[in-house]
Amino acid sequence: MRLHRLFAAAALGLLALTLPIAVQPASAAVTVERDYVVEPGEWVVGYCSSNEGAHACFGDDGDIWYVEDTAADGHSAAVEWENYVATGTRGTYVLYRHGWCIEKNGNGKDGNCNKNYIEGSKIQFRACTYESSTNSAYQCEPWTERYPA
């Protein structure tokens, strides 16, 4: 009987230690950042993603996004990006920032968005056609990963 009580107390103690870690407050949610390109765009040599209607590149030097609208399809062009930071556990990252760099001036137009990411963080991005009226993606490429930023 004594062993049973000891086991129950140990289990409750472990549960009490893990509960605060597992539950995150609503304020911990990542706010979506929406930036519109600055005209005219300067081509960025870096890591790129393209689809039918959008071309996007990330330049490590200065954390610059380049976005170009490549189709007269009625949609804007954008890059959706996610920024992850290390947790301290080797190889483990958590989402830190999330956003869009949007080119909404039409086919053949381009521009840049200048961001500032934490050195050594991980960037994941994809080119998308974008619906500015609803602030949502229309069609996106698979994610491209860049580590570190």
Q: Which residues contact 137 (CB under 8 A, 6 or more apart)?
A: 78, 80, 128, 129, 130, 131
Mean pLDDT of 42-61: 88
- What ranges do the domains of the chain cover? 30-146
What is the pLDDT, as a whole number, of residue 139?
92
Confidence of residue 41 (pLDDT cuts 50, 70, 90): confident
- Which residue has tokens 């009987």? 1
- SS3 of 67-128: the string is EEECCCCCCEEEEEEEEEEECCCCCCEEEEEEEEEEECCCCCCEEEEECCCCCCCEEEEEEE
Mean pLDDT of 120-140: 91
What is the pLDDT, as a whole number, of residue 148?
64
CATH code assigned to 30-146: 2.60.40
In the structure encoding, which two tokens stand for residue 73, read together?
């399809």
pTM: 0.77
* The amino acid at 47: Y
Confidence of residue 135 (pLDDT cuts 50, 70, 90): confident
Q: Which range (18-22, 60-64, 88-92, 137-141) has the least confidence?
A: 18-22
Distances (CA, A) of 33 to 12, 40, 41, 46: 41, 21, 20, 22
